[in-house]
Structure 1
Amino acid sequence: MTSATTSRKARSDGLGLTKPARADAGTLVVHVLLIVFVVLAIAPILVVVMNSFKTTPGIFNGPFALPTAETFNLDGWANVFKRGNFALNYGNSIIVTVVSTGLTLVLSTFAAFAITEYKVKLAPVLAGFFIIGIMLPIRLGTVPILQTMVAWHLVDTLTALILVYTAMSLPLAIALMATYFRRVPTELKEAAKIDGAGELRTLSIVLPLVRPGLAAVASVTMLPIWNDLWFPLILAPSKENQTVTLGVQQFVGQFQSDYPALLAALTLGALPLIILFTVFSRNFIQGLSQGYGK
């Protein structure tokens, strides 16, 4: 290769940089951006946890400083369990979240399987309704929902929250599960039917192939249910039925707030979701990327 040819190749690669060098530079930039994003995402959580171990003056005088001998205090954590009735609130949130997520998984699986399996004229129309349900926030129907719960005598019960959250989660869950059922080979279902398998048996054969979708649906369902404040405040405001997010509000007063207890309660409230996401993060990312990409 002549020197002229080498020079032209270097210029074609851009200012004399070879392709591997540019690839390494691009990878470095991507990693730096990811590190910055991780810091921005984790820093607020660390600040909340750190300040929960301080006194109120310590929080306001140095919100980003580590606890010292003068500012370190565990009264906030003690008040959460003494005044906050946190164990009952935790139990209510767990019951509502687990039952709502379970119902969403079961109903969305059956609905998505029916939409993709049965070639009827109404199937596209039903799928369109579910898409509309994703676009419209359920809080727009708060008044009709409240009227319905009053008529059914379900106000101030966990059952009302479970019904609302299940209805709120179904449109997205069905749309996501339908993408997975469409990826199942038709030959597998036809072979099962030839062997005499009924609809439920065929579904049980297909179900292991859509497990990433089930994990993704469970992940995107649990997070908004656990963190919701709107419907617990309206449908279940009593102390016996308060959830974690509603129980946290009792530490915020009109004239004085117990900030250490508030931050401790927020830390405890976020802990289950952090653990679940850490354990199932791979399934969550895989399920969403495969489902939304199809």
Structure 2
Amino acid sequence: MSTAPRIGRAVGVQVLLWAYAGVAFGPLLLVLLGSLRGNREIMREPLGLPTSPTFENFGRAWANASLSTYLLNSVVITVAAVTLCTVISLMAAYPLARWRFTGRALLAAYFLSGLMLPIKLGVLPIFYMFQSMGLVDSRIGLTLLYAAGGIPFSVFILMAFLRGLPTDIEEAARIDGVGELRLFRSIVTPLSRPAIATVAVFQLAPTWNDFFFPLILLRSSEKYTIPVGLSRFFGEFSTDRGALYAGLVLAVLPLVVVFVMASRQVVAGLTAGIGR
């Protein structure tokens, strides 16, 4: 087969990927540039470049819009929910993938049935249950909700990964007298790092960006997460475009940083797994 068609396809794929990257990152770049411009400059030329970059917009957004409180709430809830979801899912996926017992298939189907319906369809039962438990307007309640909502998907991913691991190391450890708890902690968990990182990455963005449940379940403004806080911020600073752009950058920046770091960890883990 001639190399010319292969080169043409490779060039076409590269062009499509760069075009998609431009469409995806273009708005982010405009927001970043807008955060460095004064309000009058933005109103005069909305899509222009900053002639004299300034960081005053970030100071106003941080000090006057309670973004520090919203960001802290989002960080605490997201980290706690993702950690709790990952730990519980790994503990559930390990016996379902590696042990043989009566009712295993039924229990696995029960976990996976959570993938069939979106959790938002159960907003009324969830609200009434949280109200009876005193978890409305509670960061703990919101954390538990996010953790529970991510378990079906996480169990599905972890089960598929654990089923592909060789059993030789576990069998050798059991012959040496290693208990199941130590085996899970010292052998299974390190081997599952690629899947754990993947699960954490996929649960991070929906939890951080969710607007629906914080709006429904939270009442106090000091407990708002960043999506709900930004909606209030937009109303209060609708005429200050520079501060609006700065607020968006501050809201997106932690997620971008974590995604970059997590992506490197996922790649490193997958590479290490292949090399073993």
TM-score over 0.5 (shorter chain): yes
1:183 equivalent to 2:184? Answer no
**2:211 aligned residue:** 229
Structure 2 CA distance for aligned equivalents of residues 27 and 41 of structure 1: 21
Structure 1 CA distance for aligned equivalents of residues 41 and 104 of structure 2: 60
Distance 1:74-1:197 versus aligned 2 partners, 3 A rule: closer
The one-letter amino acid paired with 1:209 is: L
**1:206 aligned residue:** 188
1:172 equivalent to 2:153? Answer yes
**1:3 aligned residue:** none
**1:97 aligned residue:** 78
Q: Cα distance, 1:61 vs. partner? A: 4.7
Distance 1:128-1:60 versus aligned 2 partners, 3 A rule: farther
The one-letter amino acid paired with 2:262 is: F
1:244 equivalent to 2:226? Answer yes
Structure 2 CA distance for aligned equivalents of residues 285 and 61 of structure 1: 45
Distance 1:252-1:245 versus aligned 2 partners, 3 A rule: same
Give the greater-gyration-radius structure (CA): 1
Matches for 1:1-150 after TM superposition, within 5 Å: 13=1, 19-56=2-39, 58-68=41-51, 76-150=57-131
Q: Decide whether the 8 Å contact of 1:212 with 1:284 is kept in 2.
A: yes
Secondary structure at 1:184 match in 2: coil
The one-letter amino acid paired with 2:246 is: A
Structure 1 CA distance for aligned equivalents of residues 90 and 161 of structure 2: 10
Matches for 1:215-294 after TM superposition, within 5 Å: 215-253=197-235, 256-284=238-266
Structure 2 CA distance for aligned equivalents of residues 287 and 39 of structure 1: 29
Distance 1:190-1:169 versus aligned 2 partners, 3 A rule: same
Equivalenced residue count is 269
Q: Percent identity?
A: 36
Show structure 1 runs of 5+ residues with no match. Answer: 1-12, 14-18, 289-294
Distance 1:182-1:36 versus aligned 2 partners, 3 A rule: same
Q: Select between 144-153 and 278-287 the one with higher mean Cα deviation.
A: 278-287
Secondary structure at 2:58 match in 1: helix
Distance 1:32-1:133 versus aligned 2 partners, 3 A rule: same
Structure 2 CA distance for aligned equivalents of residues 187 and 78 of structure 1: 57
Structure 1 CA distance for aligned equivalents of residues 228 and 206 of structure 2: 14
Cα deviation per residue 1:172-202 (whole Å; 9 max; x = unaligned)? 1111111111112122222221211211122
Secondary structure at 1:252 match in 2: helix
Structure 2 CA distance for aligned equivalents of residues 102 and 133 of structure 1: 19
Distance 1:286-1:60 versus aligned 2 partners, 3 A rule: farther
Q: Decide whether the 8 Å contact of 1:229 with 1:245 is kept in 2.
A: yes
TM-score by length of 2: 0.89
TM-score by length of 1: 0.84
Structure 1 CA distance for aligned equivalents of residues 79 and 261 of structure 2: 17
Q: Cα distance, 1:136 vs. partner? A: 1.3
Q: Cα distance, 1:58 vs. partner? A: 4.2
Distance 1:126-1:260 versus aligned 2 partners, 3 A rule: farther
Structure 1 CA distance for aligned equivalents of residues 80 and 216 of structure 2: 20
Show structure 2 runs of 5+ residues with no match. Answer: 271-276
The one-letter amino acid paired with 1:97 is: T
Q: Select between 246-255 and 109-118 the one with higher mean Cα deviation.
A: 246-255
Q: Select between 88-97 and 260-269 the one with higher mean Cα deviation.
A: 260-269
Structure 1 CA distance for aligned equivalents of residues 252 and 12 of structure 2: 31
Structure 1 CA distance for aligned equivalents of residues 27 and 7 of structure 2: 31
Structure 2 CA distance for aligned equivalents of residues 90 and 259 of structure 1: 20
**2:142 aligned residue:** 161
1:195 pairs with 170, 176, 186, which one? 176
